Amino acid sequence: MQGHLILDELQQEPLSAEFDDEVAAALNDSELVSVQPSIGAGWRLLPTGRVGAVEVGDLLVEVRPKAKVGLDRLLFLLGYARNPGFRPDDVAGAEDAGLFSALAESLARQGERALARGALSGYVHVEDALRTVRGRIRVGDQMARRPGMLLPLEISYDDFTIDIPENRILRAALRRMLQLPRLSAETRGRLAHLDSKLDGVALLPAGTALPHWSESRANVRYLPVLRLAEIILRNMSAEAGVGRQRVVSFVVNMAAVFEDFVTTALEEALAGVPGRVIPQYECCLDEPDGPGSRVKMYVDVVHVIDGKPVAVFDAKYKASSWAGYPNADQYQMLAYCTALNVQRAWLVYADSGPVRVRKVQNTAIEIVEFPLDLSRKPEELLAAVAELAARATALRLVS
């Protein structure tokens, strides 16, 4: 009988379960959960700070995002962080029973919409050696590779085909999802039908970089499914594990996802104001003539005008405790403000609640705790980031 274990991302009490040593090793290798022997028999599972799912043989283990952050929100954050054009309807079906089934349903729905009028075709530049003339003869290559030979000819031409980057990415994602053992027969059939529509499209070898594609009027109907396909291919793996067990996993680091989302959303929100946004801004805490190597710091996001930092942002994913946010966060922001000569810094928390301003004693520095409630709708979430950007730039305009 198949097993299904569900943990909460912030869970502190271990979950007890029984399975063999091979499964335990595979779960540990996934880095989704920490698996330790239990006293007596069985194993103790705890989340490691990542979310996602891993399936080893007949056992499925899921770590769900913290309270009220649904699977659709997780996929939205992943998609928007890489492409600001990502929208909520790109993850249709994400409220399904589990992560894998949600991904499969979303891919099936978006794939059906994209391929409703057939597979997209386009021109691809081809260089080949043929016995007939097609396109242009590459004289230099012919002389270098086949001196004194008339055939075959080194030629180049543009071929109108369905074997284009968009279809290669889509077919790779479909094949990856079809490796999931728990898909319903109905969903598996829909994915297989979509794959058959891409017959003739080359398969991407495992581990290779995704081919480059550009958004255009020609591929606009493909955009939602392409964005979802790239999320699947970048975060999901299916491979042989220890022994005969097959391991399928989709694991993401929510702290990194939240930081990437905040960075991208701020870049978009600040695009219309003077200056530029610099992610991972490098600076030093100490003076250059001090002893030894300097103390380097990397600020998540800094808004710079005429080469001068004017606004500092730092993203923190973990929620506060009942007593408030960790003091170390405030110390970190004080160091940023001091080193960059900025009077206000913004601590962006993945949390709900009011905005709070802390004035640092004996200084003009203010540290603002600005919560972003990830349970809100995507459009509300982006509006909150726009409000954050507006507050930060308004301070600059009046100072």
Shared domain for 140 and 168, answered yes or no, is no
Shared domain for 234 and 188, answered yes or no, is yes
How far apart CA 142 and CA 129 sit, in angstroms, is: 9
Please report whether residue 128 resides in a domain: yes
Q: How many angstroms separate the Cα of 310 from the Cα of each of 49, 248, 307, 364? A: 33, 45, 9, 14
Please report whether residue 361 resides in a domain: yes
Shared domain for 327 and 236, answered yes or no, is no
Query: Which amino acid is it at 287?
Result: E
Give the pLDDT of residue 40: 77
pLDDT at 319 over 60: no
pLDDT at 43 over 80: yes
Shared domain for 108 and 144, answered yes or no, is no
Shared domain for 49 and 194, answered yes or no, is yes
CB 380 within 8 A of CB 352: no
How far apart CA 263 and CA 260 sit, in angstroms, is: 5
Please report whether residue 265 resides in a domain: no
Shared domain for 142 and 209, answered yes or no, is no
Domain that holds residue 141: 122-161
Give the pLDDT of residue 323: 47
- Nearest alpha carbon to residue 180 among 92, 243, 115, 239: 239
State pLDDT tens for residues 86-131.
555 545 444 446 788 888 888 898 899 999 999 999 877 766 676 6
Between residues 385 and 318, the one the model is more confident about: 385
| Percent of the chain residues past pLDDT 90, beyond the cut | 38
Please report whether residue 227 resides in a domain: yes
Shared domain for 99 and 231, answered yes or no, is yes
Shared domain for 297 and 381, answered yes or no, is yes
Q: How confident is the model at residue 215 (pLDDT cuts 50, 70, 90)?
A: confident
Shared domain for 362 and 379, answered yes or no, is yes
Where helices occur in 119-273 by DSSP H, the ranges are 139-145, 165-177, 185-196, 223-235, 254-269
- Please give the structure tokens belonging to residue 352: 């709900």
CB 81 within 8 A of CB 257: yes
How far apart CA 313 and CA 300 sit, in angstroms, is: 6
- SS3 assignment, position 369: strand
Shared domain for 235 and 377, answered yes or no, is no
State pLDDT tens for residues 158-188.
667 898 999 999 999 999 999 887 888 999 9
State pLDDT tens for residues 218-274.
898 998 889 889 888 988 887 765 556 678 888 888 888 899 999 999 999 999 888
Mean pLDDT confidence for 276-282: 92
Give the pLDDT of residue 241: 55
How far apart CA 53 and CA 51 sit, in angstroms, is: 7
Please report whether residue 330 resides in a domain: yes
Shared domain for 300 and 384, answered yes or no, is yes
pLDDT at 135 over 70: no
Helix or strand run (H / E) with residue 107: helix 99-114
How far apart CA 90 and CA 227 sit, in angstroms, is: 8
Number of domains composing the chain: 3
CB 367 within 8 A of CB 334: yes
Domain boundary among 193, 221, 254: 254
Give the pLDDT of residue 159: 63
Shared domain for 147 and 177, answered yes or no, is no
Radius of gyration of the chain (CA): 26
